[in-house]
Amino acid sequence: MKTMLAAMLAAASCASIAQAQQEAAPQAATPSETPTAAQPLPGFSLDQAVSAAGGAAPSGAAATASVEAAQAARTVAGLRPNPVFQGQVENVVGSGPYRGVRSAETTVGVAIPIELGGKRGARVAVADAQISRAQLQSAIVAADIRVQVTQLYVEAIAAERRLVTARDQARIAAEVLRGAAVRVQAGRASPLEQQRADVARINADANVERLTRLAEAARTNLARRLGRPIDGTLDAGLLDRLPPATFGPAAPLQTAGTLALAAADADLAIADAGIRLARANRVPDINVGPALRRLEATNDTAAVFAISIPIPLFNNGRAAIAQATAERTRAEAVRRVTALDVEQAITDAQAEAANAATTARAAVGPALAAAAEAARIARIGYREGKFGQLDLLDAERTLAETRVAAIDALANYQNARARLERLTAPAPTTNTGGTDR
């Protein structure tokens, strides 16, 4: 009677778990996805985790500092050159009438640099392009943080679910052991059955111990990434959200406007601005020097006006233009390579996500239902003496492996979806935040 009761309890438990994984559906999901799990309990959501990680990540702070540095560089680029104070004393400490300072001529003035060729505007254009690139890099860092946090979040949920499955299998193994002990005491089975059941129970307990450590490590890694303890439960329903089944190849996604391609375009814009600056630097600047001269001998004063223009004899700026042109050619080539790489990466990620969704739907649907039904039949048959213990243990092992495979498939889909979203994330609208004055 005890054996029959234990088998019935175990069958009911597995049937309820299989039915819950197939029929439950969350109450909230994105419009492009069909929910397949129960509504998660209020707790620490993925968006909250991403928000917390963004404020704690050193890479995010570095990206923010890079934007601030680029904005400061833009301010520096828009500044005009400083004037230079000049002073000189002539005709002193000589001979004859120039002995001492009796015939000294003191000149005091300033030299005012005047930039020609549009150098200031070219510098500002380079700085603006660098601000746009820094802002894009900040968006890239934020997208990378989201992927990393999503993977850790999904792994924490999957680890906890594997632990629940392991505990359920350990409970079933303990019930099977009790049933085998009753059968042996009643003389209906060999003591070998009890020993095999005991081995299965020991292995199940050891598996619970291992998965407990892994679940704790997953939570610890997530909390470390967030920079704060995790309050409340995780959104366990996230793992079960699958898109609707589709047939045939998926429509190709557009690569234009993605973060990677926008970053390559920003590098090309910086190179274009560099060519403009190199050409502007070829135009010589002039220095205008108004000054006032005092003649010690007559105690008179006179105005002095000086102008200087550098002669581009040794450095005429052609080498700088050649260098900037080569940089522009390199940036254009990198942009073409990036476009091809992004298209290939998006196509691969799209196929990977679709395949992971197909595998997950099969794992949590027909495969899991079949394994649960096989285990149920094996328990009933073992109880009625129609199946041997090895058949029961094999069915239980298959059910446990199928459950773990279903959890892994769901986690793989969520990770693949996160990688695809990272590749197709749109670039934000950049703002240089400054104007010429």
Alpha helix positions (H), 287-388? 318-362, 368-383
Q: Which residue has the tokens 């492996």?
A: 401
- Number of helices (H) and strands (E), helices first, in the chain? 9, 6
Per residue in 237-270, pLDDT (tens digit) is 888 888 887 655 566 677 778 999 999 999 999 9
3-class state of residue 342 by DSSP: helix
Residue 279: the pLDDT is 95
* Contact (CB, 8 A) for 259 and 427: yes
Q: Which of 214, 195, 196, 206 is nearest to 170 (CA)?
A: 206
* Contact (CB, 8 A) for 226 and 52: yes
**Distances from the Cα of 239 to the Cαs of 214, 223, 290, 362, 408, in angstroms?**
18, 19, 76, 15, 10
| List of the chain residues with pLDDT < 50 | 1-42, 435-437
Residue 29: the pLDDT is 35
The separation between the first and the last C-alpha atoms of the chain, rounded to the nearest angstrom, is 93
**Distances from the Cα of 280 to the Cαs of 73, 78, 328, in angstroms?**
19, 15, 16
Residue 437: the pLDDT is 42
Instruction: Say what the pTM is.
Output: 0.76
Task: Fill in the DSSP letter of residue 236.
Answer: G
Q: Which of 245, 238, 60, 27 is nearest to 145 (CA)?
A: 60
Q: Which neighbouring-strand residues pair with 24?
A: none
Assigned token pair, 229: 């303890």
* Contact (CB, 8 A) for 117 and 282: yes
